[in-house]
């Protein structure tokens, strides 16, 4: 079985490498790039869809629609398109709307990337969100394949995924970008907690800014998450303000 990867950005190039330990992998992208020392074969878009009947789509969330429009005539009937976006309801909706009925669709979200999987993928989580267009065989095959790759497979609906991810990955990227605006510096008196804050900033800001914007825009639950954050911030500020007695000179400097 030759597995295809379409999109060779930060995540696609990483995922093609990971898959190559378990499958023969062909990869292609809109703007052809040359890579040194890679375990997969770079092919033209034409060859990718002619050769592979399982294709991982590894494009930015905001690029899914235009990618599918430009590729759909090349995808053979009976193929399976596996989306890997960090949100699930939006891309699955686009794929279901734009791909012909005889092409299968499976949603996945590997909950890691090149930074978090620097020591390998063993034990890391991957979400699978079957759509109305996922065959039982495809769910069974890929759940087992991901397990054999050492991943922890979590099956849930796209809606459940997005709700949970808004309050886990979404909030992390939001806080990371907030911290980035403060220009925080390392210091010899850094506490463990402070070092963890700096790590969050580094981990999230190492990803393209587009990922941050897309996570906030295309996960329909992040707006509620942001409102909860603002409410929580105001409540904490209120508590502090109430505890400061502005007439008592000893409590303020």
List interacting residues with ligand PRE (CB under 6 A): 86, 111-116, 169, 207
DSSP letter assigned to residue 82: E
Q: Which is closer to ligand PRE, CB of 32 or CB of 208?
A: 208
Task: Write down the least CB distance from residue 233 to ligand PRE, Å.
Answer: 22
Distance CA 113, CA 184 (A): 25
The end-to-end CA distance of the chain, in Å, is: 70
Q: Which is closer to ligand PRE, CB of 74 or CB of 117?
A: 117
- β-pairing verdict for 2-6 and 24-28: parallel
Q: Which is closer to ligand PRE, CB of 115 or CB of 199?
A: 115
Within 8 A by CB and 6+ apart from 127, the residues are 88, 107, 108, 109, 111, 154, 155, 156, 161
Phi/psi for 6 (5° steps) reads -110, 120
Task: Write down the least CB distance from residue 21 to ligand PRE, Å.
Answer: 18
Task: Write down the least CB distance from residue 86 to ligand PRE, Å.
Answer: 3
- β-pairing verdict for 104-110 and 125-130: antiparallel
Task: Write down the least CB distance from residue 87 to ligand PRE, Å.
Answer: 9
Task: Write down the least CB distance from residue 195 to ligand PRE, Å.
Answer: 17
What's the distance, CA 209 to chain centroid?
13
Phi/psi for 213 (5° steps) reads -65, -45
Q: Which is closer to ligand PRE, CB of 72 or CB of 177?
A: 177
Q: Which is closer to ligand PRE, CB of 88 or CB of 133?
A: 88
Q: Are 5 and 19 in contact, with CB atoms under 8 Å apart?
A: yes
Q: Which is closer to ligand PRE, CB of 159 or CB of 235?
A: 159
Task: Write down the least CB distance from residue 111 to ligand PRE, Å.
Answer: 5
């Amino acid at each position: 079985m030759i597995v295809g990867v379409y999109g060779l950005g930060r995540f696609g190039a990483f995922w093609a490498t990971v898959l190559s330990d378990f499958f023969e992998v062909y990869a292609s992208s809109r703007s052809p790039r040359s890579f040194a020392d890679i375990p997969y074969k770079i092919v033209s878009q034409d060859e990718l869809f002619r050769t592979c009947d399982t294709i991982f789509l590894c494009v930015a969330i905001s690029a899914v629609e235009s990618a599918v429009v430009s590729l759909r005539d090349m995808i053979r009937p009976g193929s399976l398109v596996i989306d890997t976006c960090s949100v699930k309801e939006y891309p699955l909706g686009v794929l279901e709307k734009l791909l012909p009925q005889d092409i299968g669709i499976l949603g996945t979200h590997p909950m890691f990337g090149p930074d978090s999987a620097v020591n390998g993928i063993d034990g890391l989580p991957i979400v699978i969100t079957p759509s109305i267009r996922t065959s039982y065989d495809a769910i069974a095959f890929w759940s087992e394949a991901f397990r054999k790759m050492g991943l922890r497979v979590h099956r849930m609906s796209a809606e459940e995924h997005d709700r949970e991810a808004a309050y886990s990955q979404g909030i992390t990227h939001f806080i990371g970008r907030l911290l980035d605006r403060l220009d925080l510096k390392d210091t010899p008196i850094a506490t463990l907690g402070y070092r963890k804050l700096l790590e969050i900033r580094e981990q999230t800001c190492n990803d393209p800014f587009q990922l941050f914007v897309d996570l906030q825009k295309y996960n329909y639950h992040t707006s509620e998450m942001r409102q909860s954050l603002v409410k929580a911030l105001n409540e904490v500020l209120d508590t502090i303000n109430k505890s400061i007695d502005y007439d008592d000179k000893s409590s303020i400097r």
